[in-house]
Chain A
Amino acid sequence: MKRKWLWIGFILLFGLILISAGGGARLRVMVRAAQIRSKPSYLGSIVARLQYEDIVVQASDPQKGWIKVTLESGKSPGWINMSSLIEYKEDMKASGANVGETASSGNIQAAGKGFTKEIEAEYKSEQHLDYAWVDRMEKYSVTAQQAAAFMDAGGLIDTLGGAE
């Protein structure tokens, strides 16, 4: 009798694994900061804030450049613009060290990432290149709300949705 229940348990577990394998694709955030929003628009309220390399799970089909996702935990369902994502693959090497950290040796420890902050630092000193104005340029920051207000004042369309 005990064995029978054990087998039923195994079978249920097997079924659950198969069902979860058939769920949505895992997608990786590839921009410095991204948001899950309540609707497929930059004017939707922010449901969750994401960082570079966070993982989200596809929850439905894309709509005009946006895709419905949840966190890996299944929480915070909402919409994210697809231009901030790539499909996640298990064999992709983690490279969190590239953002906000510097190389400590002559080798690129964070593999598979190509041109990163470490390479920039090396190139900059080799070329004696001044990045001051690029850094200043990056300080110009326009939020979705500011863009929407700008478009609204100019009698323009402030849907801020991206692709049609």
Chain B
Amino acid sequence: MKKIFIAFGLTGFIALALSGCMILGEFVHMPDVYDVFQFAITLNDIQKELNDFTPENKYYLGRAVTATVFTKYKPYQNSKANKYLNLLGTSLAYCSNKPETFNGYHFQILDSMDINAYGAPGGFVVVTKGLLLCARSEDEVAAILAHEIGHIALDHGMQAVQQSKQSAALAKLGASMVNSDIKEVVGLFGGSIEEMMNTAFVAGYSRDQEKEADHEAVVILKRAGYDPMALVRVLETMKTKLKPEGLDFAKTHPDPDDRIRDVKNFIGNYEEPPAPPSARVTRFRVELSLR
């Protein structure tokens, strides 16, 4: 009997050692410490999402928020321009830290001269004609979209909900939904939509969240090969067009001057890129003719 215990013990030890080698093996061949660090970060990120809303939950919230936006703003019905925006936006999303949402990214122009945009959870991005007219190149349109993708990638819409008054009630969602009354959950759903609409059109994101989205935009622009300084240029144009009493960006976003300063700092050493190829210049003019 004793022999059998020893045999089991030895086998267990060898098995654990072998599996340990497998795990270690994953790290041994890694090129540098950075990858090991990234491994920890990314798995941690995955686990965080588990305790949070699932991508599916965010998708349905995003759909409802976007449907509510369409009660305020009419969609701009120009399929050529919207198609171009979707090509550009999706290409940028592929370069973000969240290239995949539950059902992909989708972009729509709003028929308004307000200067406004909103990136809803799940990957729904709406942007007004007024804001797009502030952009004088594809790089500048990319900067606007990359900022909204940044809010989505960083889950700012969901943070607004979780920091709200109903966060305690929402905490129930993750754990004990069995036999919950559907009306109760619909109530929480509606409360979350209201909270997000308030953030988008009344209170705005926090200064820090706007800064983070600007930084994320710079990262996306650089990865894609666009000029990161395009964000500064479009902010400069917006500054001249914003009305202080306006209900759009002027109300919900920090002073463009502060953002310009911060973005320049974040970009750091800057070398002006070569002029964009004519194909990029032409498609911006032809595909996105909004006037």
Contacts and interface: CB of A to CB of B under 8 A. Distances in A.
Given A87-B46, A111-B177, A134-B66, A31 B57 contact: no
Contacts of B60: 115-117, 119-120
Contacts of B96: 162
Contacts, number: 257
The size class of the interface chain B forms with chain A is 35 or more
For B90, B174, B277, which residue has the most chain A Cβ atoms within 10 angstroms?
A: B90
B72 to A, nearest CB: 12
A114 to B, nearest CB: 4
Interface stretch (B8-16, B201-209, B236-244): B8-16
Interface string B1-21: 000100110011011101110
Contacts of A129: 64, 67-68, 71
A129 to B, nearest CB: 5
28 contacts: A14-B15, A15-B15, A18-B16, A22-B15, A30-B54, A30-B55, A67-B42, A86-B46, A86-B50, A106-B182, A108-B180, A108-B182, A112-B174, A113-B54, A113-B57, A114-B54, A114-B185, A117-B60, A120-B60, A123-B190, A123-B193, A129-B64, A130-B70, A133-B75, A136-B75, A137-B108, A157-B95, A160-B95
Interface of B: 4, 7-8, 11-12, 14-16, 18-20, 22-23, 26-27, 30, 35-36, 38-39, 42-43, 45-47, 49-50, 53-57, 60-61, 63-64, 66-68, 70-71, 75, 82-83, 86-88, 90-91, 94-104, 106-108, 124, 138, 173-175, 177-183, 185-186, 189-190, 192-193, 223-226, 276-277, 279-280, 283
